[in-house]
Amino acid sequence: MLETIIYSNMSNAIIYRDDDPNVYTCLHEFKKVNQWFKDRKLNHTVAVVMEDLWENHGLFYYLATEPNIIVELHGWEHKDYSILSYDECFNDLKKSKEYWETNCKRMTGIDKKITTYFAPWNREGDNIKKACEDLGLRFCATKDGVWEDNKIISFHWWSFNGL
């Protein structure tokens, strides 16, 4: 069984946050981005949009099995969760976590958990924060800056050309 490699990233002080991988992400291009991180022995944290991600079987498998990739949540859809009701937030995030965990386990036998929700457009709201708390997810609305004693460096895979 593969296990996630946790590289030091300067004493775990930097999170490289790659937003928006989704069902339409090109696996070939995404692998090139991840290779940059692998070559430097760095973790690659991806905040995925979960809706129908399973339909891109190659990407889903790669995300689930690549040891340096840390899969996190960007929502079921890429929408502004900060303005939604608690129930809408809770249901979308719950559905997203269950979708990932069920399909990940079914496809690979690997139990790669999602622990953090990275807010689209980095917007905060009481309902989304409460939904995250109730689902055992950490909440992050930091694009570039410090969060939980970690430096966040955000980018999008489609425009990545090194940091």
Question: Is 1 domain-assigned?
Answer: no
* 2 is a domain residue: no
Look at residue 5 and tell me whether its pLDDT is greater than 60.
no
**Averaged pLDDT for residues 2-16:** 55
**pTM of the shown model:** 0.90
Residues 54-91 as b or e (16 or more Cβ within 10 Å = b): bebeebbbbbbbbebbbbbbbbbeeeebbebeeebbbe
Q: Residue 11 domain-assigned?
A: no
Q: Is residue 128 included in any domain, yes or no?
A: yes
- Is 8 within a domain? no
Question: What is the rounded distance in angstroms from the CA atom of residue 136 to the CA atom of residue 112?
Answer: 15
User: What are residue 79's phi and psi, to 5 degrees?
Assistant: -135, 170
Classify residue 6: in a domain, yes or no: no
User: Does 84 reside within a domain?
Assistant: yes
Nearest to 49 by CA among 114, 128, 108: 114
Summarised one tens digit per residue, pLDDT across range 79-136 is 999 999 999 999 999 999 999 999 999 999 999 999 999 999 999 999 999 999 999 9
Q: How many domains does the chain have?
A: 1
Report yes or no on 93 lying in a domain: yes
Is the pLDDT at 6 greater than 80, yes or no? Answer: no
Q: Which domain holds residue 39?
A: 17-159
- Separation CA 137–CA 90 (nearest Å): 11
Query: pLDDT, tens digit, for every residue of 144-159?
Result: 999 999 999 999 988 8
CATH number at residue 85: 3.20.20.370
pLDDT of residue 70: 97
